[in-house]
Structure 1
Amino acid sequence: MAEVVAAMAIRPLVSMLVNKAANSLLDKYKVMEGMEEQHKILKRKLPAILDVMTDAEEQATEHRDGAKAWLQELKAVAYVANEVFDEFKYEALRRESMKKGHYRKLCFDVIKLFPTYNHIVFRYKMGRKLCRILQAIEVLIAEMHAFRFKYRPQPPVFKQWRQTDYVIIDPQEIASRSRDKDKRNIVATLLGQVNNANLAVVPIVGMGGLGKTTLAQLIYNEPKVQKHFQLLLWVCVSDIFDVNSLSKSIVEASPKKNDDTDKQPLDRLQKLVSGQRYLLVLDDIWNKEFHNKWERLKICLEHGGMGSAVLITTRDKRVAEIMGSDRAAYNLNALEDHFIKKIIEARAFSSEKEKPVDLVKMVDEIVKRCCGSPLAATALGSVLRTKSSMNEWKALSSRSSICTDETGILPILKLSYNDLPSHMKQCFAFCAIFPKDYKINVEELIQLWIANGFIPEQEEDSLETIGKHIFSELASRSFFLDIEEFKGDKHYRFRLGVLFQKYM
């Protein structure tokens, strides 16, 4: 599956190249003088490559080595070509600045900051670079025909921006009601350990997207739990189970963290929990090869007070067995259909408009395709929101793979990703620079998108406003998770969703 997601990051790269090659500034300031013919050929052939990428990605998914190698070569060429067209754009902006007299306004000293340009040297240097790119593109086009990739032009994307606050989270009351019985059962188990001298390990097991983390959050925030435990700790583990790093993360997650930074993380952890009745949530454990590491961590955690407990969420029952739970894992069942329907309708239809009767009837059929996964329902509902006809809804409903026990929710997330316009794909792919489970500041991320030129300019909105709309759309499709307000104002941070956490 890793190849699937890796290939998905190539399309926005090529789309960005297409846009750069078509930039009107290049013609306006004649920065490609003497290279007009090569420029025209590129502007014709690059969109043709985009039109076959869907088929190439599908063949790569089917483990066809030729398609994988073609996509990787396309990625390498696209990176180089993007840099070359950035140089052309820079030269166009330099000429525009000179024409408007900006250099003179900045004084002569500032001119020294800019390299001296010789038009003949520039044309010669850039002409050679452009020819090499064109040769590489010609080879890719020839191989494209040899592999018989099918043309599948991307349909125009229906844009329906959400004009509300850009942090979109599923209503807590839906999650609370849908998992109320599960919450009550696990809360009772945790509170029932009050006289247990041994460390209790309570595992929640279920496939990705089923709502394990949401349930753990409901339990963690339950008033009875908050009152019962003297210390509450939450750490997202993901695929790396390093004892020292995890110990440090647990200590840092506590408001009572000690300042003994010169001591070993395990010693700091032991000091933190000693004599305290605590609840530790270890969210999203994947790694099954950590038996000895867990034993080292457990020795420190056992210094906690009577009634302490560790609540874990995982997709694998073997993780619960390795962690030595003295009780059966709590297997999280699929969400009931009527809750899945509520999530889809909340996403698919605008609250301000009357719901089309024929599309509402389709929801019952679509519910079955989500396999009881609230994350799949959220992502699918957000895709449906951009579709207005019965035929489009039927086409989505009839897809053979949306969410299954074998594939999990990756197919619906990939479908949702493919439905995005290219600039949003590029914004999402850019998030690969962040480590897994890293809390990202939304405002800073939007500024990074702007700085890298990923956000298209529009007359009616500022780049920051468009960036907020893009974040809103990606969040609504479950690509971003755990969105929270911090510092007491309208600043938000989040972590990346399943698509990045497991496959990037």
Structure 2
Amino acid sequence: MDLLDVLVGTLAYTLERVSQELQKVYGVGAELKELQNSVLFIQGVLDDAQEREKTRNSVEPLLNEIREVAYRANDILDDVATEQQRQQLIKYAPVRNFVSPLNLKRLAFQRYVYDEIQSIEKELDKIARRCSIITTVLQPNGWQSTHISESTSVGPPCVLGRERDKQNIKKLLVPLQTDSTASVISILGMPGVGKTTLAQELFNDVTVMEHFELRLWVYVPHDFDLMKILRCMIESIDGFKCDLASLDTLQQEVRKKVSGRRYLLVLDDVWEESEEWERLKSFLYSADGGSKILVTTKREQVARFMAANSTPYHLEGLSMDDCWSLICQQVLSRNPSASFTHDFSQSDALRRCMGLPMAAKALGQRLAREADRSKWEAILTSQPWEFSGSGPSSNTMKPLSLSYQYLPHHLKPCSAYLSIIPKGWELETDLIIQLWMAQSFIRPRGTEEMEDVGSDYIDSLRRSSFLQYSHFDHKSRRQRYVMHDVFHEFVRHVAAEECSVMEPGTGLYLAHSERVRHLSVNYEELIRRVPSGGDMYEQVYKCKGLQSLLLIGNSTSRPTMVVRDDLAERLSSLRTLMLTNSCLTQLPESIGDLRHLRCLQLQNTDIKRLPDSVSRLYNLQTLGLRNCYHLKELPKDMSYLRNLRHLDLHLDGNSQGTNAGGKLRRMPPEIGLLTHLRTLSRFVVSKRRNCGLSQLKNLNDLCSELLIERLDLVSSREDAKNANLSSKEHIHRLELTWNYTIVTDASARKNILEYLKPHHGLKEIGVIGYGGTLLPTWMGDSSFNNLEKVWISKTYSCLNLPPLGQLPNLKYLLLKEMHGLTHLDCSFCGTNEIRFPKLEKLHLENMPELQEWLGADNCALPSLRELTIKDCLALQRLRHELPSLTKLVIEASPSFARLPYFPKLQSLEVKTNDDWIWRSWAALSSLTSLTLSGLTRADLPFEINSCHASIRRLEISYCSQLKFIPDGWLPPCLSSFVIRHCPMLQNLPAAGLTKLTMLEDLEIEECEQLEHLPVGLRNINSLAHLEISDCPGLSWLPSNGFPSKLQFLSISNCPELIQKLRDQGWLAADREYPQVWINGVHLVT
């Protein structure tokens, strides 16, 4: 019913918008008045039915009739509005570009509209009369509309009544006695009881934050996708997108990042027992003792499987008093002067909340929106929806029903619509809003933009638990959300008739296809199992009134996709068409006949050109071309799409100087006429007429990010000034790029860049390929007090830097491929009393002429935590103390005499063939993690061993000449030892390894000359994780085998060793260690 409610509201809104046109051009004045009256009456009936869901079954046939006529009427009125827009464009457009249709054609259209309006008016009039009779029977007093406040705010998350639970679990997370290995704690409870909220409260608790060095939160996919989980963990640690595609590489990276560090990992909403869990758990053992894994789940078997050595913590429902306190809190947050009688707390409503905070919050929010206190009793005693036996479990669904029932009316269709999104699929904020906009679910409030209202809707659904945070996508810089699986089941049940999903489980069959208006297709899986794509389209075409069609491929495998020529003819009512994650290369010309289309998403496809007919989609609001790397050009008449708000041309590779080389070479002419644009993620400058930089002049509503390419084609500073970047206050990320291979006058480039000064609210800026010798001083202007991230790359001629140290909130700085820069000195730091006060990460790469980094005492970079220096071959020394530095990465910088002392340095990664690392050894006494790579000597110096006592993790890799590691050289407190890609290594230090009483993780990879494992391997009692791969010469293992406490053993591409293990029975089903993987295959006990 909720989708129908919005549909009729849209009909009333559109009627009002085109009423003058209908009367003046189409001659339907009297019919229009009757039509408006009928629509208003039906709106009232629907408002009343919303409040009385128990009457739903009795009026269902009538609602279906209303639905069919309303959809038909909306299409006709949309046709009228579209024709009205087209006529205005004809009036102002050049004659050569726009040809008016023949008068006969226009007269035929007018007659068609006149006949349809008359027919619809008569049908709605009949329905209105029947509504009047039915509502009189059901409600002798007639219907009354309840006033609903427009605000969607629902107040902050609450943990009322959970203090005891919080303290109990906190004692498990932060025990008095530290465990030797990571341990698992599971929180078990029914949906809506507050498991995630409690876990979040613990995650952000001050004591917990101080206890754990790392805190990682992962929303677990329904199928426990290990690669996805690992990527989320890496992104949580690093703060930027992880692009690693190999499972082995991801495992190594996670193990490396958590090794020797105490962490808290929350795995939220785990659904199933999975072998992948054992694999994940095994290499998390290499972390610091006291690390914890907190699991939330609704299934007891999952809780016991994941926390096998502990009892699940059962989270019970809230008490009646706590439920009532939560309801009161929600009401008071909206109406501080409200008063209550305690009698309410004994009502049936509280018992129906079943102790679930989610249901109590929903009830409180519903009361808060009702201004008439006399109606509270009716709300508190009303019945939640009942579900048929074919629907989801009633015990689970009753509290969800209550939450849904008490949602504001405008949020119900928004949540119901999301049922067509595949379960577990992550959605970005912008995409959710654009999908809602296309269906007219969002209505502007006053002067607010639809996107801002939509963002408010999302926040409200999140607070009501219908949506939850998944993770922040660092590549797209957008928040991602996911609908909890149990909520997904619920809204799919609620919207079953109008919203449907075609997936392998359902095959090609769609029930009640004539009523389906919104459909998603798991395209890859369906085509893989049902190869005939034509059959799929024939089934889709049975949904003749379809408003949304989402054909969703897989972003990794990207199946082949073809759009049929007759799609526009057969599905002429489409408002949303999504064709994503596939090898789609073209669209048919007929796509321009989808006159109602508002949202066209082609993300991550191989599309090369869009048909020129796209310029006829006058209602188009969103054109999504994200990650379409093959796109060469856009339709030349796109300036006619005056309703376009989002043109997404973002390429994930275009960040921090890693331009991915998209093929788009120019923008369509006069794109500056699209003044409603809020998204224009890329702008490619061209010298063609009306395609230059000045087209940006009036696009002042642009938001989020803007990448301007080919600035080398800008011929004058007036063009740069006309871009008017300083007026674009909603742009938070700006990247300016030149083709650095094109030689132009350096002073001209400086003048152009000087006039590209952005608004002071900017947060991130990058300059790529700039050919001038000096960067503009505005880049170091302290008035840019929101600027947090700066990257400068491929500026080969630049001789100096602006005073970036004056930027008060700069946190990240990348300087790369600046071949003309020889010194970093005080001019770079600025003149402020404290320079670079907030800088946390500094990255210097491929700067072959950089010799010195100089600075006075007040250039000490007080907040710098991570420093990376790569391929700076001439850099001789660092003059700064860097008091907060904890991580240092140095690659290919052999001119160092030695490193200075960094008092808080914990992690050092070195790739060098020079001995300066050994000369610096005395200054590295605080290290806990050390990676040595690229060493060219045959052994390691024994004499420096005494400085290693603090190191917990050691990795030695890519040392092509290394043959021996001396006995006694390994740090005594080592918990993780990794050695890989050392082809000449002949043996491991047997005596040294057996003395490592804290070693938990040992990995050996690509050591071709290694022939045997240490004799005393079994005596390393602490060893829990052992991996050996690509060591073909390894053929001998100790006769007494592996350590008794070993939890995980993986051996790959070691044929002789594997055969030896089989022959000696170490791989038998009754072995004493549980998890064994041979060549990637898990051996089940």
Which residue is equivalent to 1:180?
A: 163
**Cα drift, residue 86 of structure 1:** 1.7
CA contact (8 A) 2:54 2:383 kept: no
- The one-letter code of the counterpart of 2:94 is F
> Paired residue for 2:146, among 128, 141, 157?
157
Partners of 1:277 and 1:307 within 8 A in 2: yes
- What amino acid is the match of 2:16? N
CA contact (8 A) 1:345 1:363 kept: no
Change in 2 beyond 3 A, CA 1:218/1:455: closer
Check the 8 A contact 2:327/2:364 in 1, yes or no.
Answer: yes
Deviations 1:288-330 (A, max 9, x none): 3x43333333334344343332211111112112325211110
- The answer to whether residue 156 in structure 2 is matched with residue 170 in structure 1 is yes
Q: Is the 8 A contact 2:319 2:355 kept in 1?
A: yes
| Structure having the larger proportion of residues in strand | 2
Q: In the TM superposition, what is the alpha-carbon distance from 1:203 to its structure 2 partner?
A: 0.8
Taking the TM superposition and a 5 Å limit, the aligned residue runs for 1:72-87 are 81-87=73-79
Aligned equivalent of 1:208, options 187, 191, 202: 191
Give the Cα–Cα distance (whole angstroms) in 2 for the partners of residues 42 and 133 of structure 1: 8
1:320 to 299, 303, 324: 303
Given the alignment of the two structures, is residue 413 of structure 1 paired with residue 403 of structure 2, yes or no? yes
Aligned to 1:33: 26
Matched, 1:281 2:266: yes
Q: Secondary structure at the match of 1:201?
A: strand
Shift of the 132–217 alpha-carbon distance from structure 1 to 2, 3 Å rule, reads same
5 Å matches for 1:32-111?
33=26, 48=42, 51=45, 81-94=73-86, 97=88, 106-108=92-94
Residue 108 of structure 2 corresponds to: 121
Amino acid at match of 1:407: M
Equivalences for residues 45-444 of structure 1 within 5 A: 48=42, 51=45, 81-94=73-86, 97=88, 106-108=92-94, 112=98, 118-123=105-110, 155-162=144-151, 168-170=154-156, 175=159, 178-192=161-175, 195-237=178-220, 239-255=222-238, 261-264=244-247, 265-285=250-270, 287-288=271-272, 290-349=273-332, 353-358=336-341, 361-363=343-345, 365=347, 366-401=349-384, 405-417=395-407, 420-421=408-409, 423-431=410-418, 436=424, 438=426, 440-441=428-429
Q: CA deviation at 1:372?
A: 1.9
| Contact residue 148 and residue 370 of structure 2 kept, 8 A | no
User: CA 1:485/1:30 → structure 2, altered by over 3 Å: closer, same or farther?
Assistant: same
Q: Secondary structure at the match of 1:112?
A: coil
Q: Is the 8 A contact 2:404 2:412 kept in 1?
A: no
Would you say the 8 A contact 1:168–1:475 is kept in 2? no
Is the 8 Å Cα contact of residues 281 and 312 (structure 1) preserved in structure 2?
Answer: yes
Gaps of 5+ in 2: 387-393, 493-1085
1:13 maps to 7
Following superposition, the deviation at residue 413 of structure 1 comes to: 1.7
| Cα distance in 2 for residues equivalent to 1:494 and 1:253 | 16
Residues 1:159 and 1:279: Cα distance change in structure 2 (over 3 Å): same
Corresponding pairs, count: 470
Q: 1:26 to 1:300 in 2, by over 3 A?
A: farther
Mapped to 2, the partners of 1:484 and 1:303 lie a distance apart of: 25
Q: In the alignment, is the contact (CA less than 8 A) between 1:203 and 1:325 conserved in 2?
A: no
The 1:327/1:114 distance shift into structure 2, 3 A limit, reads: farther
Distance 1:275 1:131, change over 3 A: farther
Give, in whole Å, the separation in 1 of the partners of 2:385 and 2:327: 14
Q: Could you tell me the TM-score, scaled by structure 1's length? A: 0.72
Aligned equivalents of 1:132, 1:209: Cα separation in 2: 48
Distance 2:447 2:225 in 1: 49
Distance 2:289 2:52 in 1: 58
Shift of 1:179: 1.9
Provide, for residues 224-246 of structure 1, a one-character-per-residue CA deviation record: whole Å limited to 9, x for no partner.
32233332211112533223223
Alpha-carbon separation, structure 2, partners of 1:167 and 1:424: 12
How far residue 57 of structure 1 moved from its aligned partner, in angstroms, is 7.8
Match of 2:615 in 1: none
Structure 2 CA distance for partners of 1:110 and 1:405, relative to 1, 3 Å: farther
Shift of 1:377: 1.4
Distance 1:345 1:55, change over 3 A: closer
Identical positions, percent? 25
Q: 1:397: Cα distance to partner?
A: 2.0
Larger mean CA deviation between 192-201 and 332-341 belongs to 192-201
8 A Cα contact 2:419 2:488, kept in partner: no
Which is richer in helix? Answer: 1
Q: Aligned equivalents of 1:114 and 1:448: distance in 2? A: 32
Q: Which residue of 2 aligns with 1:4?
A: none
**SS of residue paired to 1:157:** coil
1:117-153: per-residue Cα shift (whole Å, max 9, x none)? 7422323565687799899999999x99xx99x8789
Go from structure 1 to structure 2 and tell me whether the alpha carbon gap of 1:127 and 1:350 turns closer, same or farther (over 3 Å shift): same
CA pair 269-473 structure 1, distance change in 2 beyond 3 A: closer
Distance 1:169 1:457, change over 3 A: closer
The Cα of 1:168 is off from its aligned counterpart by: 4.7
Counterparts in 2 of 1:258 and 1:395: CA distance versus 1, 3 Å: closer
For 2:225 and 2:176, the matched residues in 1 are separated by: 28
Distance 1:352 1:59 in 2: 31
Q: Is the 8 A contact 1:196 1:306 kept in 2?
A: yes
Q: Deviation of residue 202 (structure 1)?
A: 0.9
Report if the CA contact (8 A) 2:267-2:296 is conserved.
yes
What is the letter of the counterpart of residue 413 of structure 1?
S
- Take 2:310 and 2:345, find their aligned partners in 1: how far apart are those partners? 39
Contact 2:220 2:268 in 1 (8 A): yes
Judging changes above 3 Å, is the alpha-carbon distance between structure 1 residues 466 and 56 closer, same or farther for their aligned structure 2 residues? Answer: closer
- RMSD of the alignment, in Å? 4.9
One-letter amino acid of the structure 2 residue matched with residue 308 of structure 1? S
Q: CA 1:260/1:54 → structure 2, altered by over 3 Å: closer, same or farther?
A: closer
Q: Shift of residue 281 of structure 1?
A: 0.7
1:158 CA drift (Å): 1.4
Contact 2:469-2:479 within 8 A present in 1 as well:
no
By relative contact order (CA 8 Å, sep 6+), the higher-ranking structure is 1
Task: Check conservation: 1:413, 1:499, Cα contact below 8 A.
Answer: no
Q: Secondary structure at the match of 1:254?
A: helix
Provide the rounded CA distance (Å) in 1 between the counterparts of 2:211 and 2:106: 75
Contact 1:56–1:71 under 8 Å retained in 2: no
What one-letter code is carried by the residue in structure 1 that aligns with 2:216? L
Residue 16 of structure 1 aligns with an amino acid whose one-letter code is: T
- Distance in 2 (CA, whole Å) between partners of 1:50 and 1:499 is 32
Q: Give 5+ residue unaligned stretches, structure 1.
A: 1-6
